[in-house]
Structure 1
Amino acid sequence: MRVLITGGAGYIGSTIASACLDAGIAPVILDSLVTGRREFAEGRVFYEGDISDGPLIDKIFAEYPDIEAVIHCAALIVVPDSVSDPIGYYRANVTKSLEFVDHLLRNGCTRMIFSSSASIYRTGDDHTVTEESPLDPQSPYARTKAVCEGMFADIAAGRPIRILSLRYFNPIGSDPRMRTGLQLRRPSHALGKMIESYEEGVPFQITGTGYATPDGTGIRDYVHVWDLATAHVAALERFDELGTDVINLGTGAGTTVRELVEAFNRVVERTVEVVEAPARPGDVAGAYTRSDRARRLLGWQARHSVEDGIRHSLEWASLRDSRLS
C-alpha cells in the first residue's frame, strides 16, 4: 500500500510516516515546511508544496498512481495563535482543506483520514466525552477542525470519497527510535513548557487553576504520539470495514496539569517547582475519552504511559538541536 501524508514533515505526520514504513506501507510526503522540517522527510518520497496547489497534487498522483489513501495532517494547531490570527487559521485549515479535497476527487482518491481534534467537544461535568458527545469548540483552532468535519461530511455524502476523522486528544512523546519528534524548541503545550522550565532551572507556570477539575488545573488525555501513529496504520488497514466516520484516539484516562508535574518529577533527577498563572486565551478545562470505539473497530489501544511520553520527550529534547540543522 502507498499513502499520501500531508503535513508529513511535521511532528505527528512524520511519526505516522515512520509507523507506516515499519508496517510496510510506503508514505509519500507533502509538506509546505511552514512548520514541518525537511530533515523529517529524509529518505522518504517528498514533495515540498501547499495542499491547495492543484497542479502539484495532480503531479503527485501522476507520478504515484498507486496511492490508495490520504492522511491529512497539514494544519496550524496553536490555540493562542488562532485567537490572534483567526483569518490565517481559517485560510490554512479550512479553505486549503476544501481545495485539497477537490483535487483528491479530481484524481480519483476515495479514502482520506483526517487529523481532527478532541478540542471540538463540549465536555460534561466529569470531563469525559465519547464520539456522540455534543460539539462546542472554544477557540478558532478548534472551530476550524469542527468546520472541516462538517464540510467533509457534506462532501462525502454527495461525492465518491470516504473521510474518517480521528479526533486526537493530547499528543506527547516522540518516535521511540528517535527518528523524529517535536520540532519546536519552545512549544506552547504543558509538557513542552515543563521541559523548558527544567532545562532553564526556573519554575513551571500552571496556567489556569480555577477549573472545575479535581485539583483546579486543566485536565487532558495525554496520548503517546507513537500510539497515535499506530492507530493510523490500523485505520488504513481496516478502512473499508469501518462502520463509522469518527473515532477518538486517547488513553481513556484524564491527567491534570498538577498530576503531569508529579509524573514529570518522578522521571527526572531534579524536580521542577511550580507557580500559578492565569489561563491563556482560548484555553479550556479539557477532557478525556471514555469510548472504546478505537479498540472495537481498529483493534487499537494506547500502549505507552504518561511517564513513557515524558521520557521520550526528554530524550528527543536532548537530541533535537543535533538532529535539526
Structure 2
Amino acid sequence: MRVLITGGAGYIGSTVASACLDAGIEPVILDSLVTGRREFTEGRVFYEGDISDGPLIDKIFTEYPDIEAVVHCAALIVVPDSVADPIGYYRANVAKSLEFADHLLRNGRTRMIFSSSASIYRAGDDHTVTEDSPLDPQSPYARTKAVCEAMFADIAASRPIKILSLRYFNPVGADPGMRTGLQLRRPSHALGKMIEAYEEGVPFRITGTGYPTRDGTGIRDYVHVWDLAAAHVAALRRFDALETDVINLGTGAGTTVRELAEAFNRVADRPIELVEAPARPGDTAGAYTRSDRAHRLLGWRARFSLEDGIRHSLEWARLRDTRLS
C-alpha cells in the first residue's frame, strides 16, 4: 500500500509516516515546510509544496498512481496564534483544504483520513466526551477543524469520496526510535512549556487556575504520538469496512495541568518549580474521551503511559538540536 501524507514533515505527520514504513506502507510526503522540517523527510518520497497547488497534486498522482489513500495532517495548530490571526488560520486550514479535496476528486481519489481535533467538543460537566457529544469550538483553530469536518461531510454526501475524521486529543512524546519529534524549539502546549522551563531552569507557569476541574487547572487527555500513529495505520488497514466518519483518539483518562507537572517531576532528573498565571487566549477547561469506538472499530487502544510520553519528549528534546540542522 502507498499513501499520501500532507503535512508529513510535521510532528504528527512525520510520526504517522514512520509508523506506516514500519508497517510496510509506503508514505509519499507533501509539505510546504512552513512549520515542517526537511530532515523529517529523509529517506522518504518528498514533494515540497502546498496542498492547494493543483498542478503539483496532479503531478504526485501521475508519478504515483498507486496511492490508495490520503492522510491529511497539514494545518496550522497553535491556539493563541489562531486568535491573533484568524484570517491566516481559515485560509491555511479551511480554504486550502477545500482546494485539496477538489484536487483529490479530480484525480479520482476516494479515501481520506483527516487530522481533526477534540477541541471542537463541548464537554459535559464531568469533562468527558464521546463522538456524539455536541460541538462547540472555542478558538479560531478549533473552528477551522469543525468547519473542515462539516465541509468534508457535505462533499462526501454528494461525491464519491469517503473521509474519516480522527479527532485527536493531546499528543505528547516522540517516535520511540527518535526519528522524529516536536520540531519546534518553543512549543506552546503544556508539556513543551514544562520542558522549556526545565531546560532554562525557570518556573513553569500554570496558565489558568480557575477552571471547574478537581484542582482548578485545565484537564486534557494526553495520548502518545506513537499511539496516534498506530491508530492511523489501523484506520488505513480497515478503511473500507468502517461504518463511521468520526473516531476519537485518546486514552480515556483526564490529566490536569498540575497532575501533568507532578508526573513530569517524577520522570525528570530535577524538578521544575510551578507558578500560577492567567489563562491564555483561546484556552478552555478541556476534555477527555470516554468512548471505546477506536477499540471496537480499529482494534486500537493507547499502549504508552503518560510517563512514557514525558520520557520520550525529554529524550527527543536532548537530541533535537543534533537531529535538526
- Superposed counterparts of 1:150-169, under 5 Å: 150-169=150-169
Report what 1:84 is aligned to: 84
Report what 2:145 is aligned to: 145
Distance 1:83 1:99 in 2: 24
Deviation at 1:269, TM superposition (A): 1.6
The alignment status of 1:61 with 2:61, answered yes or no, reads yes
1:155-212 Cα offsets, whole Å, 9 max, x none, are 0000000000000000000000000000000000000000000111111000000000
Report what 2:308 is aligned to: 308
Report what 1:205 is aligned to: 205
Report what 1:7 is aligned to: 7
Local SS of the residue matching 1:57: helix
The alignment status of 1:266 with 2:248, answered yes or no, reads no
Report what 1:187 is aligned to: 187
1:104-130 Cα offsets, whole Å, 9 max, x none, are 000010000000000000011000000
The sequence identity of aligned pairs, in percent, is: 88
Local SS of the residue matching 2:163: strand
RMSD: 0.3
Distance 1:45 1:270 in 2: 41
Local SS of the residue matching 1:262: helix
- Superposed counterparts of 1:23-38, under 5 Å: 23-38=23-38
TM-score, normalised on structure 2? 1.00
Distance 1:228 1:253 in 2: 15
Report what 2:320 is aligned to: 320
Local SS of the residue matching 1:95: helix
Report what 2:282 is aligned to: 282
Distance 2:181 2:60 in 1: 26
Report what 1:223 is aligned to: 223
TM-score, normalised on structure 1? 1.00
- Superposed counterparts of 1:97-176, under 5 Å: 97-176=97-176
1:55-98 Cα offsets, whole Å, 9 max, x none, are 00000000000000000000000000000000000000000000
Local SS of the residue matching 2:275: strand
Deviation at 1:218, TM superposition (A): 0.2
Deviation at 1:138, TM superposition (A): 0.1
The alignment status of 1:19 with 2:22, answered yes or no, reads no
Local SS of the residue matching 1:36: coil
The alignment status of 1:73 with 2:56, answered yes or no, reads no
Paired positions, count = 325
Distance 1:48 1:201 in 2: 38
Q: Which portions of structure 1, spanning 4 or more consecutive aligned residues, are displaced by more than 6 angstroms?
A: none
Local SS of the residue matching 2:304: coil
Report what 2:257 is aligned to: 257
1:32-55 Cα offsets, whole Å, 9 max, x none, are 000000000000000000000000
Deviation at 1:214, TM superposition (A): 0.3
Q: Which runs of 5+ in 2 are unaligned?
A: none
